[in-house]
Amino acid sequence: MSAGTTMKFHKVVVANRGAVAARVIRALRQMGIASVAVYSEADRHLPYVAQADEAHAIGPADPRASYLNQEAILAVVQKTGADAVHPGYGFLSENHAFASEVQRRGAVFIGPSPRWIEAMGHKTRARELMARHGAPMCQSTGVLQGTPDEMLAQAASIGFPVLVKPAGGGGGIGMLAAHDRAQLAKAIEQARSMAQRSFANADIYVERLCTRPRHIEFQILADRHGAVRHLFERDCSIQRRHQKVLEESPAPQLPRALLDATAARFTDVLAQLPYDVIGTVETLYEEELGFSFLEMNTRLQVEHAVTEEITGVDLVQSQIRLAAGEALAAVIPHQPAIDGHAIEARVYAEDPVRFFPSPGTLGTFVPPAGPGIRVETGYAAGNEVTPYYDPMLAKVIAHAPTREAAIRKLSDALSAFEIQGVKTNIPFVQRILAFEDFAAGRVHTGQANDLLFSNPSKESKK
């Protein structure tokens, strides 16, 4: 696509479900673009199906037969005459083969070019690419190769403790820590098995284990003509089993100058490639060693609303416009300033103590509302939460002038969230929000685990 070339999408297939499908459909409506929803048999009664201009069934509940069924989705694109596909997040959003096939059939994939999805999708190759262009890195191996003993020797060469990770997947699946050779040998075997089962790719690698790092990510937007811009950072350190629970921006207790310089450094790296459309650079931060590149997510993030709240930039509409060929300077004429503080909680249908999924029918489902409160959800009262998909019910985002006020506002909103028919993780999230160290901004990736074994007296009395 040459510089200055743009197109106007007329109809977009939203190749996803639930909250993200509803979010994209809302953006398309605001832009005057027709939307096409797809749904499995299990989702036919979810609100997003009725919110779209048209909707088409694509298969049974099993995601492999519906939301991961490329031919079924491509058939809808052809049948409806859609000129673009928005993949949301999860499912096919980072599948370079799907993105390529969408383009081969004459539609636009609303995301980065397939070559960047492929390049960043393999973690070790992505690290090598980013390192060549000057991104900071922590110590790690390449893909482990050879016999089990040879793999063990390669992995142990960087010293203990280490983290064994799949090279071809993410989401915390298959990530195993090891503190000695015996644990490492077992972790390598288990991680390879999990990687093959989950991602159809048994490649694994090992990186130095950071015991209490911060997990900080930088939001990137870029056009098809070489311009790249960051929209600050999100702190995603509060996690359970490598899954994010709370996300916020700006990152607490870190110098603004350091964060801006790091964001600018990654922006320069991506401009050299040049990367395009949308992405998130995920990093780990340790006070002694600074920032190190972790991975690149080539899609809209679950937590994108946090950035939207502090910048006023609609990331979904921006993503659509950039994919259509608009120049970044037209989409975002000026670098926005940070406005206040935003924090998001992920509300899951799960047992708040044992953390098992809690499927069921939502007898009552009344999200909170009010100034500074935003809720993104794919459910309404009467809908069934099935065991086939991720159990996230909603994202609740609070925006306020200060972090303290945002935390208080989020806690009040979660208390007002009326949900009956399933168990939720809200009690656990409330404990995190009241935790003394969290309230003080002393956050790290082990904090949620610390809280599970904490003395209740350490929780704030606010």
Write out the two tokens for 242.
């490598």
**Do β-strands 54-59 and 34-40 pair in parallel, antiparallel, or remain unpaired?**
parallel
- Report how far residue 344's alpha carbon sits from residue 74's, in angstroms, rounded to the nearest whole number: 34
pLDDT given at position 5: 59
What are the distances in angstroms from CA 187 to CA 139, 156, 162, 175, 209? 18, 12, 10, 9, 13
Quick one: 80 exposed, middle or buried, by C-beta within 10 A (0-12, 13-18, 19+)? middle
Please compute the mean of the pLDDT values over residues 201-215 and round it to a whole number. 86
Note the helical H segments in 81-121: 96-104, 114-121
Confidence band of 459 (pLDDT split at 50, 70, 90): low
Maximum Cα–Cα distance for the chain, whole Å?
A: 61
Write out the two tokens for 230.
């960051």
Residues 6+ apart with CB under 8 A from 92: 15, 67, 68, 70, 73, 98
Please compute the mean of the pLDDT values over residues 379-408 and round it to a whole number. 97
Query: Is pLDDT above 80 for 211?
Result: no
Which of 264-273, 289-298, 409-418, 451-460 shows the lowest per-residue confidence on average (mean pLDDT)?
Answer: 451-460
- Report how far residue 302's alpha carbon sits from residue 313's, in angstroms, rounded to the nearest whole number: 16
Confidence band of 158 (pLDDT split at 50, 70, 90): confident
What is 139-208's CATH superfamily?
A: ATP-grasp fold, A domain (3.30.1490.20)
The domain spans of the chain are 11-110, 139-208, 214-458
Fold exhibited by the domain 11-110: Rossmann fold (3.40.50)
CA 27 to chain centre: 18
- Is the separation of the CB atoms in 126 and 144 below 8 Å? no
What SS3 class is residue 379?
Answer: coil
**Helices and strands counted in the chain (H then E):** 16, 20
pLDDT given at position 72: 98
Confidence band of 122 (pLDDT split at 50, 70, 90): confident
- Report how far residue 86's alpha carbon sits from residue 219's, in angstroms, rounded to the nearest whole number: 18
Query: Is pLDDT above 90 for 247?
Result: yes
Write out the two tokens for 398.
């609070």
* 218-237 pLDDT per residue, tens: 999 999 999 999 999 999 99
Query: Is pLDDT above 50 for 462?
Result: no
**Within 13 Å, how many C-alpha atoms sit on residue 182's CB side?**
0
pLDDT given at position 240: 86
What are the distances in angstroms from CA 141 to CA 92, 138, 294? 28, 10, 13
pLDDT given at position 373: 98
Q: Is the peptide bond before 47 cis (omega within 30 degrees of 0)?
A: no
- Is the separation of the CB atoms in 58 and 39 below 8 Å? yes
Q: Rg of the Cα trace of the chain?
A: 22
Which of 29-38, 162-171, 243-252 shows the lowest per-residue confidence on average (mean pLDDT)?
Answer: 162-171
- The conformation of residue 7, written as its DSSP 8-state character, comes to -
Give catalytic residue positions. 299
What are the distances in angstroms from CA 151 to CA 1, 147, 188? 44, 6, 8
Confidence band of 2 (pLDDT split at 50, 70, 90): very low
pLDDT given at position 201: 86
Please compute the mean of the pLDDT values over residues 182-210 and round it to a whole number. 88
Query: CATH class for domain 214-458?
Result: alpha beta
- Percent of the chain, pLDDT > 90? 78
Query: Is pLDDT above 80 for 452?
Result: no
* 335-352 pLDDT per residue, tens: 899 999 999 999 999 998
* 15-67 pLDDT per residue, tens: 999 999 999 999 999 999 999 999 999 999 999 999 999 999 999 999 999 99
* Nearest one of 398, 391, 397 to 376, comparing CA atoms: 397
pLDDT given at position 445: 87
- Report how far residue 236's alpha carbon sits from residue 142's, in angstroms, rounded to the nearest whole number: 26
What are the distances in angstroms from CA 81 to CA 10, 11, 34, 76, 290? 9, 7, 11, 8, 49
pLDDT given at position 321: 98
* 256-313 pLDDT per residue, tens: 999 999 999 999 999 999 999 999 999 999 988 899 999 999 999 999 999 999 999 9
CA 447 to chain centre: 20
Identify each DSSP E strand in 211-324 by its residue range. Answer: 214-222, 228-240, 243-249, 277-286, 290-297
**Phi, psi angle pair for 424, to nearest 5°:** -135, 165
Contacts 24+ apart (CB under 8 A), 124-133: 124/167, 124/203, 124/205, 125/167, 126/295, 126/296, 127/293, 127/295, 129/273, 130/269, 130/293, 130/296, 131/293, 133/269, 133/272, 133/273
